[in-house]
């Protein structure tokens, strides 16, 4: 049955966290990882601004909206510092290998491949079926030839970003909570709430900020469920990757992270009514992606 909680594989996934499952370690570790990420991020961008000199003000404006390929690469690759910070934290605070955050590596790669194939198939179906627009014509953002040339490094950049988020929320936080608390209401919901808070951006999303944060929270719950069923981060990283590829590399909003997109949507974050109208559609796509991943995993 679709709602059956088959979480036997989760026990193996959380096993590395059992010896350091004290709640104070998680609180300390999450705090240190967050501070480390912020510090590394700031140092990185200060070096970039210093190197660019007079051009740094223009780059800063682009970074705020991710409106150029250069800005997007800097933003996406900076998530590597998130992975670095949590990896060091796991070693120091929990005295265990950071690789354990992924689960069994061979299994994770196998599951990543299977779920990626399912996601690509779903994306093809979605793009072939009507409607073929979003209430208006797509706007070309860059030439197809340039987009193809940039695609390999763009995929790597998105992979760095989504892997970092999954390692932190479905890896570190979920593992440590599940090693301490048996109830999924704790280890599923709390990381998803933290994930949602990280996507609450009223300055850019305006009156839809809360709806987008709730969307992110529901996405987090589904990824937590996939991780618990699979026993690795492979499936969650795959779903997250292709979701973001669609939103960042194929069709992006014109005023938010659009620098690497082939096309722009006919409305932006400032168009509150249009965004709100499309959020239920996006939720259905997210739900279908979760089902497709479940089918690929046979779980």
d(CA 35, CA 266): 38
What was the pLDDT predicted at 138? 87
User: CA–CA distance from 114 to each of 222, 223, 235, 249, 289 (Å)?
Assistant: 17, 16, 8, 22, 13
Strand partners, 48: none
Closest CA to 98 of 171, 28, 34, 150: 171
Give the least confident one: 87-91, 124-128, 164-168: 124-128
Least Cα distance to 16 among 84, 80, 98, 89 occurs for 98
* Residue range 36-82, pLDDT digits in tens: 999 999 999 988 888 877 677 777 777 778 889 999 999 999 999 99
Asked if the model's pLDDT at residue 137 lies above 60, the reply is: yes
For the chain, the C-alpha Rg in angstroms (whole number) is: 19
Q: pLDDT tens digits, residue range 226-235?
A: 999 999 999 9
SS3 94: coil
Greater confidence (270 vs 94) lies with 94
Cα–Cα dist 86/108, whole Å: 19
Tens digit of pLDDT for each residue in 174-224?
A: 999 999 999 999 999 999 999 999 988 887 777 888 888 999 999 999 999
Question: Residues with Cβ < 8 Å from 210, sequence gap 6 or more?
Answer: 200
Q: Which long-range contacts (CB under 8 A, 24 or more apart) does 204-211 make?
A: 204/255, 204/256, 204/269, 205/269, 205/275, 206/269, 206/270, 206/272, 207/272, 208/269, 208/272, 208/275, 208/276, 208/279, 211/275, 211/276, 211/279
What φ, ψ does residue 11 adopt, rounded to 5°?
A: -60, -40
Element holding 126 (H helix, E strand) = helix 105-128
> Mean of the pLDDT values across residues 160-165?
98
Average pLDDT over residues 239-259: 93
pLDDT at 132: 66
Domain ranges of the chain: 12-297
């Amino acid at each position: 049955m679709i709602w059956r909680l088959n979480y036997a594989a989760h026990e193996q996934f959380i096993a590395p966290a059992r010896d350091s499952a004290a709640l104070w370690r998680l609180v300390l570790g999450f705090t240190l990882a967050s501070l480390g990420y912020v510090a590394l991020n700031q140092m990185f961008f200060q070096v970039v601004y210093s190197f660019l000199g007079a051009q740094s003000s223009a780059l800063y404006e682009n970074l705020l909206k991710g409106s150029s390929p250069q800005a997007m690469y800097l933003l996406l690759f900076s998530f590597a510092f998130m992975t670095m910070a949590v990896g060091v934290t796991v070693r120091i605070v929990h005295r265990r290998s950071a690789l354990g955050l992924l689960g069994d590596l061979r299994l994770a790669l196998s599951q990543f491949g299977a779920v990626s194939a399912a996601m690509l198939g779903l994306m093809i179906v979605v793009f072939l079926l009507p409607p073929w627009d979003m209430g208006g014509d797509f706007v070309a953002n860059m030439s197809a030839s340039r987009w193809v040339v940039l695609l390999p490094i763009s995929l790597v950049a998105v992979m760095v970003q989504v892997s970092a988020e999954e390692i932190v929320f479905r890896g570190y936080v979920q593992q440590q909570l599940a090693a301490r608390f048996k109830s999924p209401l704790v280890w599923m919901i709390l990381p998803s709430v933290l994930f949602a808070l990280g996507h609450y951006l009223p300055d850019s999303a305006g009156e839809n900020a809360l709806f987008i944060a709730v969307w992110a929270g529901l996405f987090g719950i589904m990824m937590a469920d996939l991780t618990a069923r699979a026993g690795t981060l492979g499936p969650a990283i795959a779903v997250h990757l292709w979701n973001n590829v669609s939103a960042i590399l194929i069709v992006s909003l014109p005023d938010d992270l659009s620098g690497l997109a082939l096309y722009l949507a006919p409305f932006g974050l400032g168009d509150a009514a249009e965004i709100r109208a499309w959020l239920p559609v996006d939720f259905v796509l997210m739900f279908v992606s979760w089902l497709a991943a479940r089918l690929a995993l046979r779980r």
